Amino acid sequence: MIRKVLVANRGEIAVRIIRACRDLGIASVAVYSDPDRDALHVRMADEAYHIGPALARDSYLRVDKLIDVAKRSGADAIHPGYGFLSEKEVLPAACVEAGITFIGPSAEAMAAMGEKTAARRRMHAAGVPIVPGALEGVDADQAARIAGEIGFPIILKAAAGGGGKGVRVVERPEDLGSALRGAVSEAVSSFGDGTVYVERYVSPARHIEIQIIADSHGNCVYLGERECSIQRRLQKLVEESPSVVVDEALRRRMGEAAVAAARAVGYVNAGTIEFLVDSDRNFYFMEMNTRLQVEHPVTELVTGIDLVREQIRVASGLPLSFTQEDIRPRGHAIECRISAEDPFNNFLPAIGVVEALREPLGPGVRVDSALYEGLNVTVDYDPLLSKLIVWGADRDEAIRRMRRALDEYEIVGVRTTIPFHQILMESEDFASGRFDTGFLARRWPALAEEIPDRRDEAALLAAAVAHVRGHQVKKPAPAVNGGTNPWKLLARRAALRQL
């Protein structure tokens, strides 16, 4: 069994992995950059090592520094989390060379699924449905020819991409040239690779992903689906399981396709196969994420399976602790990503110090977070601060529970997306399941007008918090998210001796 794990990440996912290690009786090692010196993951780990300045390329993306820390600390395994190096085959390859266990797939499997056109070719050969389009990168002439064959609208995608980078939707032939140049330019700047391919743009569509996990003993299991259609500019904001459009027959067909996709590349450990589902309930392979997903908690809540624990067990050479027949999803789970972004200002990144914090509790509520009072939120890294996840016996109960949890969630000092989620959870379209990947693009302007702008209340609450703590506010009044009357909230905190 693995004895000590270096967590090659930061923020809430690093905290999540450290907790799983502690549950297993495994020692943990944190790494941190200059601004993360006082971060929660650093405080929680058994050991912590400085690896460089704020720039990720000089710290969290330095494979040599991670391997050096693993050797110095005696860590016999590295968990990459998500983001950073989690889908870069250079890290698992370096681990093999150093005799360190990588908690994830092999470099070969990662490379096979990481480049999108190669993955499409493999899936096509394995009989997994793919979106009609190119199987190779295209130039302007090839893009025009293929677009003529499959019909507009089309979508251009970076072959080395992810996270919505290097992607352009093209509605008309006359826009193809400029869109291709833009996609190539962004792909080069984001990934160092300007290869772009073309697919039919499936719209309206649902974004449905299947969680799989495989061990080195030949077992591969799918753990149901996650609905990821609530997106803004191709970035997921809300995820849930199960999906309202997936019945048992479709779930089985998509699950079996996901397992076939994983087996086609000899995949071992946790991964996710992402599909588009059209209005006729046809599904098409989009890509495979060869890592743990941000939204993995919703699967954990409906299946009762700790995915990080299973990742560590699989990497230790143990078989899965369950079979396909053991997977019996129960109830409904929803996750809201709480990010340092201002929904009053086109979701621009927000900065500030967390002056006061109250995270929701109660039945069916889980918060995966790296927040603490005094945390300095900067723009150095991804704006994700925490994940609020709830479980209910059915979808209606889960939505009601999420509304309650969002109302309880208070973050003073940094603007967050909590108000956005509050309005979304009250939306009739969301409650009825009438949405697709284009939902927010169509409805966001109207939804934005419904968000109560509580910036005046934020100023009052920040001043009251500062007064109780015996100091003055020396910067512009910070934001408040969640809750109602700030003076009532202050009184509640004082009564609970939280200040």
Question: Nearest-CA neighbor of 41 among 18, 25, 23?
Answer: 18
Distance set, CA 32 to CA 6, 7, 61, 385 (Å): 11, 10, 11, 16
Per the structure block, which two tokens stand in for 62?
């330095």
- Enclosing H/E stretch for 31: strand 27-33
Sequence length of the chain is 499
- Enclosing H/E stretch for 444: helix 439-450
Strand pairing of 27-33 and 4-7? Answer: parallel
Strands (E), 313-371: 332-339, 341-342, 348-349, 352-353, 356-358, 365-369
- One-letter amino acid at 476 equals P
Please identify which of the residues 16, 200, 251, 291 carries the catalytic annotation.
Answer: 291
DSSP 8-state assignment for residue 133 = B
Under the phi-then-psi rule, with left for phi > 0, alpha for psi from -120 to 50, and beta for the rest, what region is 12?
Answer: alpha
Question: Residue 291 catalytic?
Answer: yes
Question: Nearest-CA neighbor of 223 among 155, 181, 272?
Answer: 272
Are the C-beta atoms of residues 114 and 287 closer than 8 Å to each other?
no
Query: What is d(CA 403, CA 382) in angstroms, rounded to the nearest whole number?
Result: 25
Distance set, CA 120 to CA 115, 205, 230, 277 (Å): 9, 19, 25, 17
Are the C-beta atoms of residues 440 and 232 closer than 8 Å to each other?
yes
Strands (E), 133-241: 154-158, 168-170, 196-200, 205-214, 220-232, 235-241
Are the C-beta atoms of residues 370 and 39 closer than 8 Å to each other?
yes
Distance set, CA 239 to CA 41, 166, 375, 421 (Å): 24, 23, 26, 12
Q: Which residues are catalytic?
A: 291
